[in-house]
């Protein structure tokens, strides 16, 4: 019997992505799987049902019919508690789960004996690069951050030579040179801005310069495990704030992308620093969902403070759903090579190191240590 893979329409407000695109569906079907797609699951991402049918998928009208008898359920956003309750024991769910923010859901998956793999837990090793959905979606987020900054800036980004005189280019400052930051730098450069960037990891400087941006250097090396930045010491934070503050004050657009996984976002721009910016300047805070890099950021809102526009966008990848979904589906396709054998059947065990690291729940247990501890603490 072929493995039945189910893809549901995303239900989180504002989510326009879909877990699989027709191109990947076709490859899964050719590999021996049966793929079921809920009616109009890809509509918001501009993948109509007809394309899925042409790729070999079965289109079903409702979620209940899609998941009935399915061994694999693929998602972008975590399921709701009601959606989790509808899953049969032994079902495997793959997608983003954000477990620290969704402890009741993790408990429901555990108690329902549902196996779940969280893509945000995929280890950052060479073999798993093609499965790195965090990076692929951060690429989309960085792109959109630069577009939002340009759209809200009252200036032209490029230098223009006109009959009315020469217009100087805008200065864009990007704080954090991870995947999202580098994409924001590249996009702002393509739009013609002068770009500066800062990251506590010295190794990021070479990547920043390769994109044509100026790297702001401070004698601090805060590179941590897995390519992420470690948290700064109090002394380092004082030095950082002074340099970053001066850079923020002269920028027309500031894009902040600094995140420490599993923790509140580091505070990079204080309200006092915002007060030093020129009226009309813009801050786009990509860390809004985890507390914000700017002290004044309000998640999901755009506010104006002393003439400074501060955007706290959430789920930016959903604003470019066509390509975000395409990249996410390719990540899932690579991940599924660990769960399906060459005949399209489910593997008998989950001993691969990538599966071990990304397992959230399995056989009535919470496999991810920090989440298990958080649940135990919540019960205490």
Of 38, 135, 324, 362, which one is the catalytic site residue? 135
Please say if 379 is a catalytic residue: no
Q: Which two tokens stand for residue 104?
A: 């009741």
Residues of 76-91 as b/e, b for ≥16 C-beta within 10 angstroms?
bbbbeeebbebbeeeb
SS3 content of the chain, % helix, strand, coil (to 5): 40, 20, 40
Beta-sheet pairing, 92-95 with 165-167: unpaired
Are 340 and 347 a contacting pair, CB within 8 Å?
yes
Rounded to 5°, the CA angle 224-229-232 comes to: 95
Please say if 228 is a catalytic residue: yes
Chain center to CA of 149: 18
Are 72 and 3 a contacting pair, CB within 8 Å?
yes
Of 36, 47, 77, 132, which one is the catalytic site residue? 132
Cβ-based burial of 116 (10 A; exposed 0-12, middle 13-18, buried ≥19)? buried
Of 49, 98, 202, 228, which one is the catalytic site residue? 228
CA–CA dist 279, 79 (Å, integer) = 42
CA–CA dist 282, 68 (Å, integer) = 48
Q: How far is CA 332 from CA 5, 28, 254, 277, 339, in A?
A: 12, 11, 33, 43, 11
For residue 38, list its beta bridge partners: 60
| Strands in 200-311 per DSSP E | 214-215, 253-256, 282-285, 302-305, 308-311
Q: Which two tokens stand for residue 133?
A: 């959905």
Of 129, 130, 210, 365, which one is the catalytic site residue? 129
CA–CA dist 183, 177 (Å, integer) = 9
CA–CA dist 164, 197 (Å, integer) = 31
Are 8 and 349 a contacting pair, CB within 8 Å?
no
Please say if 124 is a catalytic residue: yes
CA–CA dist 55, 35 (Å, integer) = 10
Of 68, 80, 100, 124, which one is the catalytic site residue? 124
165: three-class secondary structure by DSSP: strand
CA–CA dist 100, 114 (Å, integer) = 18
Annotated catalytic residues are 124, 129, 132, 135, 228
């Amino acid at each position: 019997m072929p493995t039945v893979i189910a893809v549901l329409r995303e239900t989180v407000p504002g989510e326009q992505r879909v877990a699989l695109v027709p191109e990947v569906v076709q490859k899964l079907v050719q590999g021996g799987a049966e793929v079921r797609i809920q009616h109009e699951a890809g509509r918001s991402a501009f993948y109509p049902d007809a394309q899925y049918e042409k790729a070999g998928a079965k289109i079903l009208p409702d979620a209940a019919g899609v998941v009935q008898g399915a061994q694999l359920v693929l998602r972008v956003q975590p399921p709701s508690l009601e959606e989790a309750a509808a899953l049969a024991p032994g079902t495997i769910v793959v997608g983003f789960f954000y477990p620290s923010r969704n402890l009741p859901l993790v408990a429901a998956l555990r108690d329902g004996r549902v196996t779940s793999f969280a893509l945000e837990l995929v280890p950052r090793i060479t073999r798993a690069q093609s499965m790195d959905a965090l990076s692929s979606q951060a690429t989309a987020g960085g792109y959109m951050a630069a577009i939002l900054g340009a759209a809200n800036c009252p200036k032209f980004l490029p230098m223009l030579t006109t009959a009315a005189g020469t217009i100087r280019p805008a200065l864009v400052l990007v704080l954090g040179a991870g995947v999202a930051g580098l994409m924001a730098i590249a996009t702002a450069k393509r739009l013609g801005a002068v770009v500066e960037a800062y990251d506590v990891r010295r190794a990021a400087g070479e990547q920043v310069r390769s994109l044509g941006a100026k790297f702001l250097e401070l004698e601090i090396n805060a590179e941590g495990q897995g390519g992420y930045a470690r948290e700064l010491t109090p002394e380092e934070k004082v030095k950082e704030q002074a340099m970053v503050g001066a850079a923020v004050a002269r920028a027309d657009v500031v894009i902040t992308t600094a995140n420490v996984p599993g923790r509140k976002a580091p505070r990079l721009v204080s309200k006092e620093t915002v007060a030093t910016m020129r009226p009309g300047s813009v801050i786009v805070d990509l860390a809004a969902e985890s507390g914000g890099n700017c002290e004044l950021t309000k998640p999901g809102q755009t506010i104006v403070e002393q003439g400074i526009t501060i955007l706290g966008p959430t789920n930016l990848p959903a604003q470019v759903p066509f390509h975000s979904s395409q990249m996410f589906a390719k990540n899932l396709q690579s991940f599924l090579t660990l769960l399906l054998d060459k005949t399209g059947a489910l593997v008998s065990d989950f001993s691969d190191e990538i599966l071990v690291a990304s397992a959230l729940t399995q056989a009535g247990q919470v496999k991810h240590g920090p989440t298990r501890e958080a649940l135990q603490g919540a019960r205490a």
